[in-house]
Every structure is written in structure tokens, then in C-alpha cells.
């Protein structure tokens, strides 16, 4: 990545305590990084406005101007600047406020120099990625992976940076984005980058749980609390204790359950159905949805107070159509993946296939692209995936290949694998509309969710 290293980056550090400032400067110092310092916050701000560094490190409590004020001023002028705040008095509330105002991170004093150095290294890498546009090659594919997610578009680099910002501090996060855009991957990345990464990560899909069982599923129950409750059972929240729970499809949560969830969010305790007392828990909550919760609040199908609490920090995922520049990279990634999986040595896609992939509307987003490449790799013959191999339903392509090889590959799938593959195909046909897909398949939405929770690649393993 010689190109990346040549790009020079500058950093301004502001702290009224000269000893602390020297320590910061010594900690971050490295080749290719220009470091400027100021002990006076006003002079620091002037320096920042004049030199426009990509990274600022700033003490929170300074005479004459607080770090928060400086942060607001910097973000107003250049929202892309990465600002690291330092404080002697950490609290989750002030960390959340700093991140909402646009800070990149919030570190405590006395300084953990190793932590500071590694955060600055990450930020420098991000800056260099933003500044460099290079031809897509396999080396780059590695470079543009972030915790299992692929992306080089500005929108995705922003998502990666935001995950890094939020992960150390969040108690609740709201993930929004259309179906198949990668919300579950983001949730895992948030958990894996959080201080509770060694604790459990418990995904729980509200759409897949029958409405009458939601509360017992989430909160647990005591023996005899309802017909069928033959023994005490811990709910998902308790299982996620010490870690993270992902409340997927939060828009499907019944209103009565929303009220109980609010209590968990506010008080960090849960009461099993039929229990007389709550139990204390310590969890982080990630809520995800493809629906517009604000509209649901207007329609009174989602509680406003819960929406407010969950949405204090959010991550918005763009649709694939909004980041078409990622399609070649994702294609390359999936081609490599399925080549290995099927043991068919594909090296890429033909020019025509690449153009068709670039022109498709991708209503099912990355999941749809993954399914298309899975199916094409199954149908096609190495070394290149060609246009007729692509099952795109928008007319620019022929129908799926009928070469004998493809038929044989499909013949080797088990019935269950076919079910999964078929569910993905039907969903794709309906542009990601799960209600219509379930109707057309003649199965319940819960069953569809179960099938879709297996990615097409799992189906074909
Ligand atoms: N940036 C990415 N890089 C690589 N793979 C991705 C990326 N985004 C999504 N995927 C893959 O696409 C598929 C769908 O992603 P995911 O399940 O996270 O979507 P989702 O937003 O949760 O969708 P839904 O709303 O339907 O639940 C998964 O198989 C995932 O691995
Ligand atoms: Mg999901």
C-alpha cells in the first residue's frame, strides 16, 4: 500500500497542561504524521481553522473554552475532522453527548498511551482510505474489509468509522437500513469492537417469534405462569447478560412488549413472566429495523419514548444502489468465496456481466448480490462468470444458464438446502418484500425468517 503511506496527515493537539500535551505529542508521533500543538484553546482553534488537520486531540476542561465548545466549532466548519476528546471524568452520558456532537472518541485521563496510539493509528488509516482511490485488485479487497464487511465507498467508510466511534460507549444503538444491507453484520461488528466482546451476542428476531410468545421469549417465565410453562425459563435478555442483545426487526415488536422493553433500557432489569420481582442485568441493546420508526411513531404503532431512547445513537446503512462503487469489490469478494465453496476456480466476471451487475437496481441489496453470485457460480463454468449465468430479473440478461454442469450442481443439494436457496430466490423476485414472498411460498413469515437466516452460502455448504 505504498500509495497509502505517502499521503501525509496532520494532527493538532490542544491541552492547557503542557506535560500532558508533550505526552500526547510523543505518543502519536510517527512518519507521515505532522503534529502541531497548542496550550491555549483559542490559539488551538485558530491553528485548527488555519491548518485544517484531519485529526484533533483536545482536552475537555480548559480555561476559556471547553473541549465540547471547540468540538462544535470544528464540526461546524468541517464535519469530517476526527476529534478525540480527553477527560478526567468519564461518564456514559457525556461520552454519548460527545459522539452525538460529532466526536470520534472519548478517552480518559490519566492517558492510556497505548490506547491513544492505537485509536490515532486507526484514524490515520481511515483518513488515508478516504483520500485514496485506487484500482480494485485483490490486495485492495483485504484492505477494504472491516470486521467481515466489504466497502470502499465514502458511505461505507463512514459506517465503519461510526462503528468504531460508538462501540466503546454505547448502551443502546439503533441500526436502520433496507433489507439485506448488512444490519446484522454491523450489529456483530459493534459487539466485537465493544468492551463486552467476550460476553454473549444474542440475536433475537421479533418477526420470527409468534406474538403470544414474544414476552416469554424475551423476558423468560416462571413455571405455571401460563399453559405450557412447565418449568422456569430464562429469556433472551438474561442469556445476553454481560454482552449484547440484537433486537432485530424491532418494528414488529408488539406495543405491550415495547413498554416492557423501555423499562429494561432505562433500569437494566428484567422481570420473568409470572415473577414477582425483577432481576438486575447488564446488557447492551442493539435494535435493528428496515422500517421507518419515525413514521410508525406518527401512526402510534411505535412508542415515541422508546424510539427516543433507542435512537440516541444510530447507524444508518445505505442501500447498495446508493453505493454502486462497492459492487465490483463485493462481486470479487463473493466470487472468491463461492469459488472456494464449490471448488470451482473462478477468477472473476466478464465485462458484460460486470456491466449488468452495475446496472441492476438491487432492491434486495447485498443479500441479493450474494445470492446472484452464489447461483451464478453454481451455474457457470470457470474461469469467468458470464452474463447468462446471472439470474437478474430486470431484463438485461438471459434466463439462467441451462448448461448441464449447473443442473448437476443443483441436483447435489439436499431438500433443505433447496428450500433455503428457493426462499432467497423468491424474496429476490419480490424485491425483498418478505410479506409477499411468504405468501407466494405458502409459508408463515416466521418460517420464511428461519430460512432466510441461513445465507445462500450456508445453504450450499
Ligand atoms: N458490506 C458487506 N460485505 C460483505 N457481505 C455483506 C455486506 N453487507 C451484507 N453482507 C451479506 O449480505 C447478507 C445480508 O446481510 P444482513 O443479514 O446483515 O442484512 P440485514 O440488513 O440484516 O437484512 P434484513 O433487514 O433483511 O434482516 C449476509 O449474508 C451478509 O453476510
Ligand atoms: Mg437482519
Which residue is listed with cell 433507542? 310
Taken in order of first residue, the domains within the chain and their CATH numbers are 2-132 (3.40.50.2300), 154-316 (3.40.50.300), 320-459 (1.10.8.60)
Backbone angles phi, psi at 38, to 5 degrees: -150, 140
Side-chain half-sphere of 351: how many Cα atoms within 13 Å?
0
Alpha helix ranges (H) inside 220-364: 236-239, 255-267, 293-298, 304-310, 327-342, 351-359
| Farthest CA pair distance, the chain | 77
Query: Quick one: cell of 323?
Result: 453505493
**Which ligand is the nearest neighbour of the Cα of 147?**
1
Q: What is the pLDDT of residue 248?
A: 94
Task: Give the residues across from 245 on adjacent strands.
Answer: 202, 285
**424 Cβ closer than 6 Å to some ligand 1 atom:** no
Degrees to nearest 5, angle at CA 444 with 439 and 447: 120
Site to substitute for ligand 1 among 146, 153, 182, most atoms within 8 A of C-beta:
182
**pLDDT band, residue 313 (cuts 50/70/90):** very high
Q: Are 167 and 314 in contact (CB under 8 A)?
A: no
What is the Cα–Cα distance from 255 to 261, expressed in whole angstroms?
A: 10
Please state, rounded to an integer, the average pLDDT across all residues of the chain.
86
Q: Using DSSP, state whether 386 is helix, strand or coil.
A: coil
Ligand 1 atom 12: residue of nearest CA:
367
Backbone angles phi, psi at 78, to 5 degrees: -150, 95
Grid-cell match 448437476, residue found = 408
Q: Residue 319 above 60 pLDDT?
A: yes
DSSP state of 276: S
Q: Cβ of 110: how many Cβ atoms within 10 Å?
A: 9
- If one compares 211 and 302, the residue with the highest pLDDT of the two is 302
Q: What is the mean pLDDT of residues 326-331?
A: 93
Q: Give residue 385's region: left, alpha or beta (phi > 0; psi -120 to 50).
A: beta
User: Residue 246: phi, psi to the nearest 5?
Assistant: -105, 115
For position 334, what pLDDT does the model report?
95
Contact between 235 and 272 (Cβ < 8 Å): yes
pLDDT above 50: residue 397: no
Give the 3-state secondary structure of 391-431: CCCCCCCCCCCCCHHHHHHHHCCCHHHHHHHHHHHHHHHCC
Ligand number, closest to the Cα atom of 315: 1
What's the CA-to-centroid distance between 263 and ligand 2, angstroms? Answer: 24
Q: Is the CB of 456 under 6 A from ligand 1?
A: no
**Is the C-beta atom of 177 inside 6 A of ligand 1?**
yes
Residues 6+ apart with CB under 8 A from 65: 41, 42, 45
- The pLDDT confidence band at residue 287, using thresholds 50, 70 and 90, is very high
d(CA 295, CA 445): 23
Q: How many residues does the chain have?
A: 461
- At 393 the pLDDT is 59
User: pLDDT tens for residues 9-49?
Assistant: 999 999 999 999 999 999 999 988 999 999 999 999 999 98
The Cα–Cα gap between 336 and 345 comes to: 9
Distance between Cα 437 and ligand 2 center (Å): 16
- Cα separation of 95 and 220, whole Å? 32
Beta-bridge partner residues of 35: 11
- Helix axis angle for 18-28 and 113-131, nearest 10°, is 60
Confidence of residue 88 (pLDDT cuts 50, 70, 90): confident
Please compute the mean of the pLDDT values over residues 70-78 and round it to a whole number. 86
For the cut 50, the answer to whether the pLDDT of residue 246 exceeds it is: yes
**Whether the model pTM is above 0.75:** no
Say if residue 371's pLDDT is above 80. yes
Question: Is the CB of 366 within 6 Å of ligand 1?
Answer: yes
Query: What is the pLDDT, as a whole number, of residue 136?
Result: 45
Mutate to test the pocket of ligand 1, among 141, 157, 173, 181 (most ligand atoms within 8 A of CB): 181
What is residue 248's three-state secondary structure? Answer: strand
- pLDDT for res 440: 81
Could you tell me the distance, in angstroms and rounded to a whole number, from the CA of residue 7 to the centre of ligand 1?
32
What does the DSSP assignment read for 138-190?
A: HHHHHHTEETTEE--SHHHHHHHHHHHHHTTT-SEEEEE--TTSSHHHHHHHH
Per-residue pLDDT band for 461 (boundaries 50, 70, 90) equals very low
Expressed in angstroms and rounded, the spacing between residue 345 Cα and the centre of ligand 2 is 30
Amino acid at each position: 500500500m505504498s500509495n497509502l503511506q505517502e499521503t501525509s496527515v496532520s494532527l493538532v493537539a490542544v491541552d492547557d497542561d503542557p506535560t500532558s500535551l508533550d505526552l500526547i505529542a510523543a505518543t502519536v508521533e510517527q512518519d507521515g504524521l505532522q503534529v502541531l500543538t497548542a496550550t491555549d484553546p483559542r490559539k488551538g482553534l485558530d491553528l485548527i481553522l488555519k491548518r485544517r488537520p484531519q485529526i484533533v486531540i483536545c482536552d475537555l476542561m480548559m480555561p476559556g473554552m471547553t473541549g465540547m465548545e471547540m468540538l462544535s466549532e470544528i464540526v461546524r466548519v468541517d464535519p469530517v475532522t476526527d476529534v478525540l476528546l480527553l477527560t478526567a471524568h468519564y461518564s456514559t452520558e457525556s461520552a454519548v453527548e460527545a459522539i452525538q456532537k460529532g466526536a470520534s472518541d472519548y478517552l480518559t485521563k490519566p492517558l492510556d498511551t497505548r490506547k491513544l496510539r492505537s485509536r490515532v493509528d486507526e484514524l490515520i488509516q481511515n483518513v488515508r482510505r478516504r483520500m485514496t482511490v485506487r484500482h480494485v485488485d485483490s490486495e485492495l479487497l483485504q484492505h477494504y474489509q472491516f470486521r467481515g464487511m466489504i466497502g470502499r465507498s465514502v458511505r461505507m467508510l463512514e459506517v465503519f468509522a461510526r462503528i468504531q466511534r460508538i462501540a466503546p460507549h454505547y448502551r443502546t444503538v439503533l441500526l436502520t437500513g433496507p433489507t439485506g444491507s448488512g444490519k446484522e453484520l454491523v450489529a456483530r461488528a459493534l459487539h466485537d469492537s465493544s468492551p463486552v466482546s467476550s460476553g454473549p451476542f444474542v440475536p433475537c428476531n421479533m418477526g420470527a417469534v409468534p406474538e403470544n410468545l414474544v414476552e416469554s421469549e424475551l423476558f423468560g417465565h416462571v413455571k405455571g405462569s401460563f399453559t405450557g410453562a412447565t418449568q422456569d425459563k430464562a429469556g433472551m435478555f438474561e442469556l445476553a447478560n454481560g454482552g449484547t442483545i440484537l433486537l432485530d426487526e424491532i418494528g414488529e415488536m408488539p406495543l405491550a412488549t415495547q413498554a416492557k422493553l423501555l423499562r429494561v433500557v432505562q433500569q437494566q432489569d428484567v422481570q420473568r413472566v409470572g415473577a414477582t420481582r425483577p432481576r438486575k442485568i447488564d446488557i447492551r441493546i442493539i435494535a435493528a429495523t428496515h422500517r421507518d420508526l419515525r413514521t410508525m411513531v406518527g401512526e402510534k404503532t411505535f412508542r415515541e419514548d422508546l424510539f427516543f431512547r433507542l435512537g440516541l445513537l444510530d447507524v444508518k446503512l445505505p442501500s447498495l444502489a446508493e453505493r454502486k462503487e462497492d459492487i465490483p469489490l463485493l462481486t470479487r469478494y463473493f466470487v472468491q468465496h463461492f469459488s472456494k465453496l464449490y471448488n470451482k476456480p473462478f477468477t472473476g466476471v466478464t465485462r458484460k456481466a460486470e456491466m449488468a451487475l452495475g446496472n441492476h437496481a438491487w432492491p434486495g441489496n447485498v443479500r441479493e448480490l450474494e445470492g446472484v453470485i452464489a447461483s451464478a457460480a453454481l451455474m457457470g463454468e470457470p474461469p469467468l462468470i458470464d452474463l447468462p449465468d446471472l439470474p437478474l430479473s430486470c431484463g438485461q440478461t438471459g434466463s439462467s444458464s441451462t448448461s448441464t454442469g449447473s443442473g448437476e450442481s443443483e441436483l447435489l443439494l439436499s431438500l433443505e438446502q433447496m428450500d433455503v436457496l428457493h426462499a432467497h430466490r423468491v424474496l429476490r423476485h419480490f424485491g425483498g418484500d418478505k410479506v409477499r414472498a411468504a405468501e407466494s411460498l405458502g409459508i408463515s413469515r416466521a418460517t420464511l425468517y428461519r430460512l432466510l437466516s441461513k445465507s445462500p452460502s450456508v445453504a450450499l455448504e
